[in-house]
Amino acid sequence: MAFEHILFDLDGTLTDSYEGIAKCVQYALHYYGIEENNEENLKRFIGPPLWESFHIFYDFPEEKAKEAVLKYRERYHTVGVYENKVIAGVPETLKTLYDNGKKIYLATSKPLKLAKIVLEHFDLAKYFTFICGASLDFSFEDKASIINYVLDNQHIENRSSAIMIGDRKFDIIGAKQCGIKSVGVLCGFGSEDELKEYKADYIVPEFSNYGLYQRSYLNGSTEAIKSIFTLLSKEENYPVYFHCNAGADRTGTLALLINGLLGVNQEGLIRD
């Protein structure tokens, strides 16, 4: 069956928010006398709740870590939230899903108020049936809790009809805890190794490339490139292998992702 309920993460999945987040983390750390210019260290803040990152990576006690988040927000709410850009192909993807009757939801650990600002700023909010984000008081920010809230609030009882799309392990872990499948995308801030380690059901290498990885149900140690549209539109719990005809138009993983979610066949692909 094709998936009817599509849950998206925000940062690193729909938008490239690195600049705004990095500069605001630097702003907050500077307040405490810490100068951080390492890009990889700054990228670690994208995905998990912010206070946890200050706590884990800089040994801030919980109270100080949450204070650091408030300092971060001083800049982010007015400047950083707009230091952001939409990932290529996202508007077209959302529009195609929306036009074909799919229900689209946002499940992000970014505070709800800021998530809405981002979606409205880029004219994407119109595609979403429901938007769920974290609370500003730190009481509601765990990814599994957010995904579960979307499912419960929207009365999605058949969890096999829902899928979570995100770029970090937190999206994959949250999806598994809520009993739904997941797609890991490498356009964001998670690595392929990370997504494999946490066993994403599907991994899209790049929006510009053809194919994806899926853990083999027949042999858990085997991974193979498969066409995403077929895997997402089939009910069978075994791998279906496809390859592209020599003369076929390789429309890219993004188009195949759309077709998979819609259960649409892609001309030019044949079964091995």
CB 12 within 8 A of CB 47: yes
**Across the strands, what pairs with 259?**
none
Collapse the DSSP code of 99 into the 3-class scheme (helix H, G, I; strand E, B; otherwise coil) and give the result.
Answer: helix
Which of the residues 9, 11, 16, 167 is marked catalytic? Answer: 9
Find, among 231, 228, 222, the residue nearest to 250 by Cα. 228
- Catalytic residue check, 9: yes
Please tell me the number of Cα atoms within 13 Å of 151 on its side-chain side: 21
Backbone angles phi and psi of 158, in degrees to 5:
-85, 95
Coil/strand/helix, residue 109:
strand
3-state secondary structure of 181: strand
- List, in sequence order, every residue forming a beta bridge with 203; answer none if it has no partner: 184, 213
> What sign has the CA pseudo-torsion 106, 1, 227, 229?
negative
Tell me the chain's radius of gyration from C-alpha atoms: 19
Element (H, E) at 73: helix 62-76
Q: Which amino acid is at 11?
A: D
Query: For residue 181, what are the β-bridge partners?
Result: 163
**Cβ distance 241 to 271 under 8 Å?**
yes
Element of type H or E holding 42:
helix 39-43
Give me the active site residues, please.
Answer: 9
